[in-house]
Amino acid sequence: MKALQILFSILAVLLATSVSLAQDERYGNTPEQQLKCKEALSVYKSYKKQKNYDEAYIQWRKACEVCPETASEGLYADGASFIGKEIKKVEDEDPRKAILIDSLLYMHDKRMELYPSTKRSPNNRCEVLGRKASDFYKYNRDEHLAAYNMFKESVDCLRDQSSATTLYQYYTASFYTMKRAMKGDTIAQANMRAQMLTDYLALTDYVKAGIERAKEKGKERDIQRYEKAKGNIETVFVAIADCDDMVPVLDGAIDADPDNMDLKQKVLRLLNKKECTDNDLFLPVATSVYSVEPSAPAAYAIGIGFAKASQLDSSFTYMEDAVNRCGDCADKVTYLLKAGQLASAMGRTTTARSYARQVLDVDAESADAYMLIGDAIAGASKACDDGALGGRSVFWVASDYYARARRMSEELSEKADKKMSNMAKQFPTVDDIFTYGKQTGESFTVPTKPGCPCSGETTTIRVR
């Protein structure tokens, strides 16, 4: 028994020794070379830790001279970083710049060759390829297709694990490949545009996953990077997408895979985002998605479809469902506004104002909400009629809300001006207000009446 214990102890020592020797071999074939390599690595890393990057770069080059190429993955990761800093110091006309750029790309290539997969990063090659694509595109601004191919391979591999930079630069490279590299080839450009439309759906999902992952880890800088990527992707998307282009492409994608509910959900989001609702694809897709998985976006989409068909009762039913299913979702304000606008169009003024107030609870600076309140009040003349000036007072109050919306949003100013002009035509005459002992410019409180959406509000008397 004792002999066995001694044997096991010897085996354990031999195993540990063999592992240690195997680890040391990556630093060189002889103890002397191994020692020199380890010392060189330690020296450059110490300068890097001190943020003395100029000296770190010098010592890193010495480490490259004495260490085998398999000594450390960090040799290539740090090398790319150091060389990137050196490139910034060199003028464009300096011949050294081209050499440094080639060296930078070489660092990425060797890292991918020697470390395609690591315990920490199983898809290491794909991650490094994304970095190489970014550096390549930075210094080869006209090589759109080559950059696009690298970005695409990286994104196809990593999907929602892609970095924020890789995601938005892939979409940018796609755009310029279509616009410039494929210029004159209308078929290739059409195919690339179609791919970019469907890519947009996937990329926005990947960005969303990246933001959620960064939030879970408490990495604020990563959150900001993904938010920036989201904005950049949106900018490119707006530049390429219009309904006439989108609908045939998306229709064809669904025809090719009619049972793919995930695709239909993405198509529905896309149609909603671009407000491409007046076509034969929209309502069938929305209804199909809703029947399998009722959701706020699907309910909203169906509501929009019925509104286009002037079926306001059905539209309002689905829009209310969208509001209820949304909770605190990102599109809450959109759903509330649309529900309120439908209620106003149906003459449900109190309901319309209620929805507008809910919008203001979420976004106190929403000019659209004040426009909606103005619309709800403008249509309530009968409800507020007290036999005196009550019926006319709604036009004063509505005009007040339109004026507020105009001050808050330059975009709505023209629309608000037209509505204010229409309200002014409904103001009482001088004789009307004289009959009730009132004068222009006086304060007026709207009489309290059940169903009057502006009961008790104070405004200023005006005449037409």
For the ranges 9-23, 189-203, 213-227, 249-263, the lowest mean pLDDT is seen at 9-23
Closest C-alpha to 446, from 395, 401, 393, 396: 393
pLDDT given for residue 5 in this prediction: 57
For the ranges 65-74, 231-240, 392-401, the lowest mean pLDDT is seen at 231-240
pLDDT given for residue 267 in this prediction: 84
Contact (Cβ atoms closer than 8 angstroms) between residue 215 and residue 231: no
Closest C-alpha to 88, from 28, 14, 139: 139
pLDDT given for residue 2 in this prediction: 54
Give the pLDDT band of residue 31 (cuts 50, 70, 90).
very high
Sorted by sequence, the CB contacts under 8 Å of residue 254 that are 6+ apart come out as: 260, 263, 264, 267, 281, 285
Q: What one-character DSSP code corresponds to residue 181?
A: I
What amino acid occupies position 141? Answer: R
Q: Which residue has the higher pLDDT, 249 or 215?
A: 215
Please tell me the distance from the alpha carbon of residue 19 to that of residue 330, in angstroms, as a whole number.
54
State percent of the chain over pLDDT 90: 63
- Size (the chain), residues: 464
- Longest CA span, the chain: 121
SS (H, E, C) 406-420: HHHCCCCHHHHHHHH
Q: Which residue has the higher pLDDT, 362 or 148?
A: 148
**Average pLDDT score over residue span 317-340:** 91
Say if strands 443-445 and 458-460 run parallel, antiparallel, or are unpaired.
Answer: antiparallel
- Cα angle: 109, vertex 110, 112; to 5 degrees: 65
**Average pLDDT score over residue span 111-126:** 96
pTM flag (> 0.85): no
Closest C-alpha to 446, from 427, 461, 426: 461
Give the pLDDT band of residue 279 (cuts 50, 70, 90).
confident
Contact (Cβ atoms closer than 8 angstroms) between residue 394 and residue 454: yes
Sorted by sequence, the CB contacts under 8 Å of residue 461 that are 6+ apart come out as: 396, 433, 438, 439, 440, 441, 442, 443, 444
pLDDT higher than threshold 50 for residue 13: no
For the ranges 105-109, 124-128, 156-160, 391-395, the lowest mean pLDDT is seen at 391-395
pLDDT higher than threshold 90 for residue 61: yes
**Average pLDDT score over residue span 304-317:** 91
In angstroms, how far is CA 413 from the centroid of its own chain?
28
Contact (Cβ atoms closer than 8 angstroms) between residue 127 and residue 154: yes
Contact (Cβ atoms closer than 8 angstroms) between residue 424 and residue 462: yes
What domains are defined for the chain? 27-115 (1.25.40), 124-241 (1.25.40)
pLDDT higher than threshold 90 for residue 273: no
